[in-house]
Amino acid sequence: MRAFRTIYATKATAALLMVLTMSGCVYHEWVHTAAGQEDYPQLIEHVRSNEELQDQLDKRTETMFREGEHLDNYAEMGVDITAILLEHQGGLEENFLYVRGPGFISFSYYHPHNELLGPNYRTFHVDGPEELFAGGATVSHSLTQAAPGIWVSLATEYTKTGNAYCAQRTAVRLHVRRALADLSTSEAGNLASLIAGTQRVRRNPPNCGVWVSAGDSHWRTMHFTPDGKRLPAADRDEHPAQIVSFAEFGRIVAES
């Protein structure tokens, strides 16, 4: 049985989608300067300190969080995605939500995995409280590929009301097995864009995600304010997700 999905775990619930969507707004002539940084810590700081980029993200955030119609009892819509994961062999520990969209691959999961990518990867702190990566009953995780051998992970603390997952705190890590100097200009630019989006997630307005069926054992997320107003711009960028096993996760990562 297969099933699926996000930019922010359960963002790839409400956090992961925002990352993927907002990272697409970055001005590419600027992000191409990312290739000139000496190493990943310098790249992370380069992204954080650029005022022009932050202004662009401010504008994108305003568009993404433009409110639509109000839906009563929105938290009762859709499905309980963690209950669906638990129905699969291995439960939350052995199953991932997987989405493949134009130019990206992403996984969401509800169990902390140490060294998920293996010992060949170096890990760098990007933003947020590191303790979230230890997991917990109300922490979801996501892993998104920025380029071959380059991944960004998020740990998102959420509250759950009915079927609505509402993002609270988010932490971000970067995982690499390639030197920054080995990345092409476009790869470095894509990575800078993704880092910018993840850093911005922590300052987004409160938002909630509800998983709904997309047919054929796939799911997508609808996005709302905590009081039930739709966020239609976020929904337009949503890609459907399916459930994959731990073994399938390993195969997809190895082939990516």
pLDDT category of residue 237 using cuts at 50, 70 and 90: low
Lowest mean pLDDT segment, chosen from 23-27, 162-166, 178-182, 226-230: 23-27
Beta strand spans in the chain (E): 3-4, 95-101, 104-109, 122-127, 139-147, 150-161, 164-176, 208-215, 218-224, 242-245
- 67: which 2 tokens? 């409110």
Going from N- to C-terminal start, the domains of the chain cover 3-17+69-181+207-255
Query: Long-range contacts: 65-69, Cβ < 8 Å, 24+?
Result: 65/204, 65/205, 65/207, 65/225, 65/231, 65/233, 65/234, 66/231, 66/232, 66/233, 67/225, 67/229, 67/230, 67/231, 68/229, 68/230, 68/231, 68/232, 69/229, 69/230
Q: Decide if 66 contacts 233 (C-beta within 8 A).
A: yes
DSSP state of 80: -
DSSP state of 179: -
- Chain mean pLDDT for the chain: 82
pLDDT category of residue 13 using cuts at 50, 70 and 90: very low
CB atoms near residue 123 (< 10 Å): 15
Nearest-angstrom CA–CA distance, 108 and 99:
9
Q: Decide if 217 contacts 185 (C-beta within 8 A).
A: no
pTM: 0.84
Strand partners, 155: 141, 171
